[in-house]
Structure 1
């Protein structure tokens, strides 16, 4: 029987987005793990040599040998220097050998208050977080791969390098949690000590040996196999090598740090599951010249129904590129509906170092389950494109009207000025304004399938629209979903599903690397039982799935008298989508399903690291 492992971010202070993965654990050790074992054996030899030199096994007794980052902020020195001792180079112990995100530093200060008696005002704490996040933070290239952590996305992580790191780090929180930091070897060892002191499971995991292939298969070990390496030591060595305090990215970024210059108008392109796509404009105004605090006014238009949304907000920008803000919309388009996009949203965005583009997520909900995925492009008086609609072009289509959205677009366009690549020709221009161009296009029957760039007199939008010959199969997104019971004492955790049509790509084969998503397809939605016990009846109790929209509303929490053993309304079910329009070779509707877990509420919420305005 397949197994299910779940990690909930609010089960411990080092919180993380929930991730869960179904599947059977591998019984064989990957080659990378065998190589890691060999490398760790070498590292242990070096560590033992250090012990023999008198350093001691406790990392607290080690002598820091790596180059630290001096603390130059007076307030930080005053508030932190009483416990974090300075040296002659301006370093403060621990702090100068750690770099992390705004969330990481905010979490650290809260821990100092709760565990170590730090007395600090909110204003001082905020100022210290701003300083440390900038001058003891991450380079943009280091922060971007783990932005999903700050954006509160529920994802199946792809950055976990091996099973050891999955066990030692990602079994309790997102792997993005440690990868949002850079530390010296000693600091990573002290982090392990902290975990062992606070969480009993951590010590058990760290002191578990890495099993080699022979052990996992139940075979006898050869005589020359070295003593097993403990998982904690292997994790320490991996983090010390792959997330050190001194990196090439930080060395290149540190002299480039400057105040954020984001004031002006920005084009916004967004999408939201269940609501389609949006285009609009955000005006960013600094609170004062050179300030890292901003006010925003945003107007978005939904392409599905042309409804216009207006939002106002405030934000902080850390390190010149890391945006954290909040915004509030006007009025409710769906009063009482939890995914209405007009309420309060938190904003987490990453801006490119040249400050010409940004991307991120604006999210809300009791479990941050709703969100707009957004990209921003600065308006610079040069033509810029942000979106094409409709979202796909089928081969053989004639006289298809297509809209291109942007800013400062030329208004005297000719068909030859718009280029989609071979096989797509512009028949005529219907209209052209600085913000929207409407063109009529023809798509050849033999046009090569795949994502197409579009160019308008030098303004290029990459992967603007896919060209496809047909929908070969559909997928339900997300493929693994989560909902939480609630509604009596606790808030509900909802889940929106979408059916995405996919093309087999140029090779014509399904599930290969050249497959690409085409567009959302209309589907009929239903729940199906996922049998796990003989008396399984989860679909009667977990909640309701809207048959037209794929929106799942969980049931209420608490023991249910109508259920066997008075169980709660939790359960596992399949979410099934049957396409209304797309059919297979036999003429049957394309179908797909996703796995949904409906679980209990988060009864206890640990302090979450919120650094937004």
Structure 2
């Protein structure tokens, strides 16, 4: 006879015994759990069947971010004790990251300094070369952040995501993060590494007013655009943005890694450039392949500072990473004045451009462009940047390559109102002439032509100097010399013509080039009794500011350091058209040294 449902339930409870109330309660609970699990099991089985049927109807999805196989036995043997290798030769961490040569170099140095990795210099260089070539960046990924490797002091604002910018750029440039491509897991592990090495960053206020973790009250109101509030931690927002914006696999890298080949750069190159405080430089670079090392070159450089005639020669070496990234180093034999070279090689191997630099903070530099030379004549520039109307017998030098040894005045042209009256001398790399400029010569930029070779906008014809400008408008130097090195700051003054509209600071203004001025410092008053000009340092008559020594100064009130801010003033003596001196100024901040330079400067070689 069938029992009522209530009786059946009571009978089943009894199967678990009739102990005290607690045991009876546990027994009943266990029974209910058993029944529930059976029902859930049937439900899960049904769901799995549906999912299986649906999956069979859908095309298989490709696995994302499979990683880059490491084919180098050297990398696997030296790094494999910590970074495990799978059956596809993918190594943990390494295969899921791409980076610039400088970032890979920092990683290798960190492995040696903090993880006790034992590497001899030759192995370290070869590992760096392999990783930069096979786990590197494509040209289109490097161009927007070329200033990072070129060590330029620029103002840069990352506008793609403010949370990411605040999280990353409080301690280093945003371009350092932009020099990476990683999987989502790798971006997360990078954040974890930062939190492990620097635990205070979780809650220490940074650019956005908070650290890696959210320290502000939870937002409940919608954002200004109506979206619901995003209360995730700043680091989680950054990981999401970096994963979407800088993934491991990109079309640019797929295309470049397939097309990349050893760059054939041997030959003669014309170099033109600009060094603040000195002006244009012109010359030649001879590049020869190093027979003992692939992608390596011996480099002989000779150039002239056009304005002064100073000649500079140096020899060095260079290496090419990822098929297009030139990293070089050169100087006079035995000299401590070593210049580093960072350039991007164009895909046709006919041009490269970038920056050469030196100094304790890489602050002294030359913006350069190299163009491969053929046997055809080429004009690089001239020693003058401006020609005044109504002037006669003006001496001028034209610099170039393969220039004709026999040249007539009519073979050299400067446009209307400028006449070459005499050829003083002619060599294959330099032609000296005398010129007359008519009083009614049109004002504006002029090309220079020699025997069919033309250099556009080489100089400017002008009738007066309307003003001068100090460059840069805002500079920075760092005290040093006792414990830390000094950071210098070079200034220059350029003449300005107001152009056709006669108004200053408009797009048609004409840059007349560097002018000789008197340099001085004036107080940038920021507080009562400001005395910065007495302690921050000195500026010479070439516009080079040298800061004072670092550390407390007992001669200064409060035993303060020799830091502060001042005006840098340039004064141009009166000319016939200007009865009064022309003045201009720029601001200079003299600050403390960089106390935490974790890694010494290197060029990735």
TM-score using structure 2 length:
0.77
Question: Does residue 1:352 correspond to 2:351, yes or no?
Answer: no
Q: Which runs of 5+ in 1 are unaligned?
A: 1-62, 333-341
Offset at residue 252 of structure 1 (A): 2.9
Q: In structure 2, what is the equivalent of residue 103 of structure 1?
A: 102
CA distance in 1, matches of 2:95, 2:452: 46
Q: Paired residue for 2:5?
A: none
Aligned to 2:45: none
Cα deviation, 1:192-219, whole Å, max 9, x if unaligned, reads 33333333336643445999xx99xxx9
How far the C-alpha of 1:130 sits from its partner, in A, is 0.6
After the TM superposition, which of the residue ranges 185-194 and 530-539 deviates more from structure 2?
185-194
Match of 2:330 among 310, 327, 331: 327
Q: Does 1:607 align with 2:583?
A: no
Task: Give 1:75 deviation, angstroms.
Answer: 1.8
Distance 1:239 1:539 in 2: 45
> What CA deviation, in whole Å up to 9, does each residue of 1:399-451 have, x standing for no partner?
75554322223556677766667x5666567365432345647578574645x
CA shift in 2, pair 1:424/1:446, >3 Å: closer
Contact 1:472 1:584 (C-alpha < 8 Å) held by counterparts: no
Q: Is the 8 A contact 1:401 1:441 kept in 2?
A: no
Question: Does the residue aligned with 1:386 lie in a helix, a strand or coil?
Answer: strand
What aligned pairs does 1:88-167 form with structure 2 within 5 A after superposition?
Answer: 89-157=88-156, 161=160, 163-167=162-166
Q: Say which of 251, 257, 261 aligns to 1:258.
A: 261
Q: What is the match of residue 6 of structure 1?
A: none
Q: Which has the larger radius of gyration?
A: 2
Describe the superposition over 1:6-40 as per-residue Cα deviations: whole angstroms up to 9, x where unpaired: xxxxxxxxxxxxxxxxxxxxxxxxxxxxxxxxxxx
**CA separation of 1:419/1:183 partners in 2, compared to 1, >3 Å: closer, same or farther?**
farther
Secondary structure at the aligned position of 2:573 is classed as strand
Secondary structure in 1 matching 2:110: helix
Match of 1:555 among 548, 553, 557: 548
Gapped regions of structure 2 (runs ≥ 5)? 1-61, 204-209
Q: Distance in 1 between matches of 2:164 and 2:496?
A: 33
Any conservation in 2 of the 1:583–1:590 contact (CA below 8 Å)?
no
Q: How do residues 256-335 of structure 1 correspond to structure 2 at under 5 angstroms? A: 256-288=259-291, 291-329=294-332
Retained in 1: the 8 A contact 2:267–2:288? yes
5 Å-filtered alignment, 1:218-257, equals 224-228=226-230, 231-257=234-260
Instruction: Classify 1:222/1:259 alpha carbon distance in 2 versus 1 (closer, same or farther; 3 Å).
Output: closer
Name 2:69's counterpart in structure 1. 70
Higher mean alpha-carbon deviation, 74-83 vs 491-500, is at 74-83
- C-alpha contact (below 8 Å) 1:274/1:549 kept by paired residues: yes
Change (3 A) 1:159 1:581: farther
Question: Which residue in 2 is equivalent to 1:589?
Answer: 581
SS in structure 2 at match of 1:106: helix
What TM-score does the superposition give when structure 1 sets the normalisation length?
Answer: 0.76
Correspondence for 1:40: none
Report the number of matched residues. Answer: 534
CA contact (8 A) 1:283 1:298 kept: yes
- Partners of 1:559 and 1:568 within 8 A in 2: yes
How many Å apart are 1:89 and its aligned residue? Answer: 4.6
CA distance in structure 2 between the partners assigned to 1:559 and 1:414 by the alignment: 65
Deviations 1:452-489 (A, max 9, x none): 55555664545433455654443322222222222334
SS in 2 for 1:578: strand
Looking at structure 2, the residues matched to 511 and 229 of structure 1 have their Cα atoms a distance apart, in angstroms, of 46
Between the aligned partners of 1:246 and 1:458, the Cα distance in structure 2 is 48
